[in-house]
């Protein structure tokens, strides 16, 4: 282990002096950082060099990944547009099917030799003539938009830049589309690059410099604007957010009007999601006075709150998603973290349940507001996404596309169990394993979690997990507070000053798995990424005695400075900010970087990050690794810094396989 320089940076937070000796690692281009990265890269290579299981795992993972992967289609006029991956393609391909023949529209695998340019969004015009699509290079959140003429197979000259997470919404006449973007970097300071979001209209065949500015708020530079159109194209509306806050605003105006946008919902007091409108009567999914959501109606002619109507009241289960097809509401409820599907009439009365084919997750729902045909995808821990066609009038369900795997999954099972957290809260957990696995306390376990940002961990298929349970491992996913499995109260119980609840839930999940003889602490590993990387790092430093190994992926680690990097400030509504004295106290109390103790031997940790990650910058992982090496050199800490990759957006198949090969090599070596 090399001696790493320490700087004398000390910052005063409201009277508390905090050392930051590795702040120099925040500069990825400095000679010191580049030299350090080269050295830790060699250490990583040396660590993985002689792990015997790597090649066997690589071969088997390649076999398990090699199956067709289907995405939910969307009907455009008389054609279906959909994505599909034949098996080991680095990126899924966009196809169009006219009822007789399937044709390739866009093959992202042709955009780069190594598959590191991904198509992250694509939308067909209403006549099916054009497809506007966004690409990301090396996993960056920055995206560029191009336009393809489907009839001529020609990529047009249109090229849009400085976009992140934007929708692409075609005008009713297909002359162009609405989108949102940030300013050109040369026009603002680096600190303001993530501000001044604006909505534009791009006309096909023109230069981006000619795009029409549709909306901006110079007085609210942190607002984010996401444009869309109502089903009939009679209104244009904006979803307005500040960072990742669960509360949003809603602005609307007639599409063909020169009037200003009406700030219909401008209090940011709840979450409002447009579902449908009948003229001026707008239907919203909202958690206003309903933590598990309800549907309300607001008439633009009488928008005062006293005139709002409740259409469907809050139910026992969380109303996760709503679509409007065939003049009816199609609602996906979350029941103990898995989806159930129901159909309701426009007046709010329940029509019937859709008999979904598995205990799992709905991946997408597509259809038209005035047609009976809809498509949806479902997946589980043991089933890749299957696509189903459902006739709302006939109540008929048929399979549209499903995959065959290179393994018989009937030998495995997923069970759902409930455990009690530190404060008595009942928390669900999915456990996937071999049916004949003995519960003798000797099984290697991966305990996975996230717990934040309203994100629910519902059942999802990952071919890499099949390899783990095939080898005799157990894969457990805990549905921690901070997600939305049980609505907004569940989310709020794991955010801001309540964040410790998330760590307590996860620690209790590990203790439960040991108590129930699934494993023992020496064979219990924990894994999480992004906010889940924060989760496993915090639990590792709080309970080093409980875990046998830690896989910490693209983690948020420095909770005092996270908001100073790229889009980190967007997360302040979820985490809080160290610039606030009260919030500093709880952030400092659990921040993994600041809670590594001198001389404590922590469980072996693999910290995986990526050089192009512009969402959670690699500095988090670098500073954590350097701190562990300095304060507890007896702890095994491996930093895996991946090139030409980002936070995970559009990661090619080849890199996914490489990543999991290393994860399993690490776990095989450390868990024994």
Please identify every residue annotated as catalytic.
530, 613, 647
Q: What angle do CA 355, 286, 556 make, to 5 degrees?
A: 90
Beta strands in 437-582 (DSSP E): 445-448, 474-478, 524-529, 549-553
Q: Angle between the 619-631 and 31-49 helix axes, to the nearest 10 degrees?
A: 70
How far apart, in whole angstroms, are the C-alpha atoms of residue 94 and residue 108? 8
Give the distance between the most distant pair of CA atoms in the chain. Answer: 72
Q: Which residues are CB-contacts of 617 (< 8 A; sequence separation ≥ 6)? A: 26, 28, 565, 566
Instruction: Count CA atoms within 13 Å of residue 80 on its CB side.
Output: 18
Query: What is the DSSP secondary-structure string of 271-298?
Result: -EEEEEEETTEEEEEE-TT-TT-EEEEE
Residue 362: what are its φ and ψ, rounded to 5°? -85, 125
Are 500 and 586 in contact by the 8 Å Cβ rule? The answer is: yes
User: How many helices (H) does the chain have, and how many strands (E)?
Assistant: 10, 39
Distances (CA, A) of 17 to 180, 212, 462, 494: 41, 50, 44, 28
Count the alpha carbons within 13 Å of 311 in the hemisphere toward its beta carbon.
Answer: 22
C-alpha to C-alpha distance for 669 and 210, rounded to whole angstroms:
58
Of 322, 324, 295, nearest to 231 by C-alpha is: 324
- Residues with Cβ within 8 Å of residue 407, at least 6 apart in sequence: 64, 466, 470
């Amino acid at each position: 282990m090399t001696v790493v320089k320490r700087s004398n940076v000390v910052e005063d937070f409201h009277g508390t002096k905090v050392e930051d000796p590795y702040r120099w690692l925040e500069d990825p281009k400095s000679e010191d950082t580049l030299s350090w990265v080269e050295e830790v890269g060699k250490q990583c290579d040396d660590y993985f060099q002689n792990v015997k299981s790597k090649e066997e795992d690589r071969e088997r993972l390649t076999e398990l990944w090699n199956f067709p992967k289907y995405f939910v289609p969307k009907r455009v006029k008389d054609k279906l547009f959909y994505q599909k991956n034949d098996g080991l393609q680095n990126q899924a391909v966009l196809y169009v099917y006219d009822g007789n023949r399937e044709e390739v529209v866009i093959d992202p695998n042709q955009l780069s030799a190594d598959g590191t340019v991904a198509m992250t969004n694509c939308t067909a015009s209403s006549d099916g003539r054009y497809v506007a699509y966004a690409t990301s290079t090396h996993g960056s959140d920055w995206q560029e938009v191009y336009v393809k003429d489907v009839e001529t197979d020609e990529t047009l000259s249109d090229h849009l830049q400085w976009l992140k997470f934007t929708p692409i919404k075609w005008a009713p006449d297909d002359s162009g589309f609405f989108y949102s973007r940030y300013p050109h970097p040369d026009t603002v300071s680096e600190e303001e690059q993530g501000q001044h979001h604006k909505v534009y209209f791009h006309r096909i065949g023109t230069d981006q410099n000619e795009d029409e500015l549709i909306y901006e708020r110079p007085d609210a530079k942190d607002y984010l604007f996401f444009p869309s159109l109502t089903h009939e194209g009679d209104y244009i509306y904006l979803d307005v957010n500040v960072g990742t806050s669960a509360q949003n605003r809603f602005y609307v105006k007639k599409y063909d009007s020169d009037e200003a946008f009406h700030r219909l919902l401008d209090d940011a007091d709840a979450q409002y999601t447009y579902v449908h409108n009948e003229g001026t009567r707008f239907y919203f999914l909202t958690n206003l006075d309903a933590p598990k959501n309800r549907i309300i109606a607001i008439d633009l002619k009488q928008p005062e709150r006293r005139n709002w109507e409740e259409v469907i009241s809050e139910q026992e289960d969380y109303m996760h998603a709503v679509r409007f097809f065939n003049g009816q509401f199609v609602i996906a409820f979350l029941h103990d973290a898995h989806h159930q599907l129901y159909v309701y009439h426009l007046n709010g009365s329940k029509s019937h349940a859709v008999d979904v084919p598995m205990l799992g997750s709905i991946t997408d729902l597509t259809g038209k507001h005035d047609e009976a045909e809809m498509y949806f995808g479902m997946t589980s821990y043991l089933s890749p996404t299957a696509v189903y066609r459902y006739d709302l009038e006939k109540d008929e369900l048929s399979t549209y596309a499903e995959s065959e795997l290179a393994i018989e999954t009937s030998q495995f099972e997923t069970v759902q169990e409930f455990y009690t957290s530190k404060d008595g809260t009942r928390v669900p957990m999915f456990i996937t394993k071999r049916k004949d696995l003995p519960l003798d306390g000797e099984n290697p376990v991966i305990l996975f979690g996230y717990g934040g940002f309203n994100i629910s961990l519902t059942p999802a298929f990952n071919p890499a997990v099949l390899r783990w349970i095939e080898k005799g491992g157990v894969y457990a996913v805990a549905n921690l507070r901070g997600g939305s499995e049980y609505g907004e109260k569940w989310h709020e119980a794991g955010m801001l000053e309540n964040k410790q609840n998330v760590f307590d839930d996860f620690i209790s999940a590990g203790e439960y798995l040991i108590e129930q003889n699934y494993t023992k602490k020496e064979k219990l590993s924990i894994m999480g990424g992004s906010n889940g990387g924060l989760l496993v790092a915090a639990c590792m430093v709080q309970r080093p005695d409980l875990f046998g190994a830690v896989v910490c992926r693209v983690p948020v680690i420095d909770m005092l400075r996270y908001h100073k990097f790229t889009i980190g400030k967007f997360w302040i509504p979820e985490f809080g900010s160290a610039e606030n004295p009260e919030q500093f106290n709880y952030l400092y109390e659990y921040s993994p970087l600041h809670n590594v103790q001198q001389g404590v031997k922590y469980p072996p940790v693999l910290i995986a990050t990526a050089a192009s990650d512009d969402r959670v910058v690699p500095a988090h992982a670098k500073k954590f690794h350097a701190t562990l090496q300095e304060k507890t050199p007896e702890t095994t800490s491996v930093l895996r810094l991946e090139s030409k990759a980002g936070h995970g957006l559009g990661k090619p198949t080849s890199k996914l396989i490489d990543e999991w090969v290393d994860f399993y090599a690490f776990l095989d070596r450390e868990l024994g």
